[in-house]
Structure 1
């Protein structure tokens, strides 16, 4: 019996067709690079079918099973390359070497007149990336084993910098090493959600011009996010940033208090995203955080967030409200909020106000400006009279502005 399988070339073509159908690889150069570079050569342990499926291929795990390194989901790779807008001859820095596949794509995009440097803290990862790059004719890509937060000053300045690992903070290296007018694309985490943000350097400010929801393996050593259980069994956890005044201890047992539910009359379809509510709120409310509920918490009706593992919440002293959803008709769902505690009802109503504001322009995105933490406040732009929140990180300061 003969088994017929698709060739790598056929599977790669189908992968790119899937990426295009999802609205990515909009640049002809990005599309051509993804049709040219053989992803299966960088993940030899995976089947060729998995190599060209729209999935992350995990290449290294921690002892607890969590991913330490991977080849990212191809649609996300294409999305971020679109954001990066590489031009022929660009000097490019990549933070997070992974398998070397993304560096090979970058080399294809910048061409023989440019250069690519990729950095990773893990010597096993850089050794694997080096092998993959050498085996595919990309010996000219420089691979450095180093803490990615330091960048690679020896090849600076860079026209383009891209992170293929999640960052909570931005260190001074990226202002020092990015050329004026250069672009930086980074999966940046603030208020417990992660967006792939494309920044353009404008003097000492990095100013966003696009952002897309994403998720990435986090950088090692950036510990600015806090978390704490808010129920006795540890089934429901709150996540917030170090600059917020949230105290999980004050919220202990809040879910056992009477709940107040408020519905917004805003409807979504089963495939319609509503992450823009959370993103918008990061520029309007300093109390925004994330709630995560285990299956047991949902099944026992202790806590039922719209998306159990990650939903926006508002926390104030001993009160909490979080985003909720209910089915109201075939294929339609209503968004709302569930509140607990002394001010739970008010918080739920305020969350619904934000849902309704988002509903007026679902495609609107805030502007994010990033500055070194040492920047004096008078030098920071607050976008006139727009609503804004200043988010203090350890090495950077974000200003999130919302119309």
Structure 2
């Protein structure tokens, strides 16, 4: 049962939550804003306090025996961002993959209205049982809740005008493709090259084409696993994470950090609060060796490895060489609160890799808001049918990542 530690009623807390979301640039659609103001999020989080329910953070609702999050209520700003991307119309038929708490399904039902239909599917029967209870208790008993593998969709209620995936996906399931109506939209937190983006696709014939790509993070979908990892130092303090389609061998790289590194600086600086995740996104569309590097505190403290963000920074790998994204303080304005972005290379090709990474930092700096177009084709599509761009192969899809002319 929800409790509160203050006299502020839930309605006032909900108003504040939505005001923050709007100020952050989300809920751009007035219909999304109205839905967020109407649906009581705290009613879907019975084990959280009312303050926790309306804070701008995710709430874990189920953990595994190892403590890993198995299900959660997404951060409200991310919920609003993805609803903006989905662009629901009254009367739409919607599939939600990943039931969560039922809150997102209620928002979808509010958006599609009485003439529409919402189906929510989750593989965990405990999650779907709780979702069913919450929806029934809040007046959304008409929403279909199914226990099953979300990767298979829900064919009985297809085709769908909109499909939204609220768990981290490694691949684009063929079932989502088949069950999405022509011209329909798919919004999916898709993972590639060590990072996750919420990608909004529109179906056009035999392909899906993106028009929005936003940074996000989600609990991964059960049964989809295409990321490998391995330690590259003797003591096991530095790990690489790479995709199944990349020819990266940690054994070949082991010990490369013991070789003297060479730093290359881009001349590009960022201040406090300025995001530079766009560099990583750009690398995924230009450099085939893009992956993720993670360094434990011991590696950072000893100077073995100094990624810009120790737990998750992009790196480039080529054979037995690598370069990783780093930063250093610059005192341009006398405050010492700016950082220059660069790369540190190790191994025979390390200097060249670091230089290439810096080239992409500069390209990002020329237009920090540029987004790529991501076009997805079914696996097995011949190369000569793909448009120009960098190709990333998934088991069920081929992604082509390209930047529009004018977005260098």
Shared fold (TM-score greater than 0.5)?
yes
Cα deviations by residue, 1:191-231 (Å, 9 ceiling, x for unpaired): 11110000000101100000100000000111111111111
Contact 1:175 1:204 in 2 (8 A): no
Q: Which residue of 2 aligns with 1:234?
A: 236
Secondary structure of 1:165's aligned partner: coil
Rounded to whole Å, the distance in 1 between the matches of 2:22 and 2:128 is: 30
Q: What is the correspondence of 1:4-83 to structure 2 with a 5 Å cutoff?
A: 4-83=6-85
Contact 1:264 1:336 in 2 (8 A): yes
Rounded to whole Å, the distance in 2 between the matches of 1:359 and 1:295 is: 29
CA shift at 1:377, angstroms?
Answer: 3.1
Q: Which residue of 1 aligns with 2:365?
A: 359
Q: What is the correspondence of 1:103-252 to structure 2 with a 5 Å cutoff?
A: 103-252=105-254
Rounded to whole Å, the distance in 2 between the matches of 1:350 and 1:375 is: 30
Q: Which residue of 1 aligns with 2:354?
A: 348
Q: Does 1:258 align with 2:260?
A: yes
Rounded to whole Å, the distance in 2 between the matches of 1:7 and 1:400 is: 47
Q: Which residue of 2 aligns with 1:378?
A: 384
Rounded to whole Å, the distance in 2 between the matches of 1:338 and 1:246 is: 19
Cα deviations by residue, 1:132-190 (Å, 9 ceiling, x for unpaired): 10110101000011111000111111000000000000121111100111011000001
CA shift at 1:4, angstroms?
Answer: 4.5
Gaps of 5+ in 2: none
Which of structure 1's runs of 4+ aligned residues deviate more than 6 A? none
Contact 1:171 1:372 in 2 (8 A): no
Secondary structure of 2:287's aligned partner: coil
Q: Which residue of 2 aligns with 1:397?
A: 398
Q: Which residue of 1 aligns with 2:88?
A: 86
Secondary structure of 1:34's aligned partner: helix
Rounded to whole Å, the distance in 2 between the matches of 1:151 and 1:137 is: 25
Rounded to whole Å, the distance in 2 between the matches of 1:140 and 1:375 is: 40
CA shift at 1:332, angstroms?
Answer: 1.2
Cα deviations by residue, 1:259-299 (Å, 9 ceiling, x for unpaired): 10111110111111111111111111101111011122112
What is the alpha-carbon root mean square deviation over aligned residues? 1.0
Contact 1:284 1:402 in 2 (8 A): no
Gaps of 5+ in 1: 383-387
The structure 1 residue matched to 2:340, chosen from 330, 334, 344, is 334
The number of equivalent residue pairs is 396
Q: What is the correspondence of 1:266-277 to structure 2 with a 5 Å cutoff?
A: 266-277=268-279
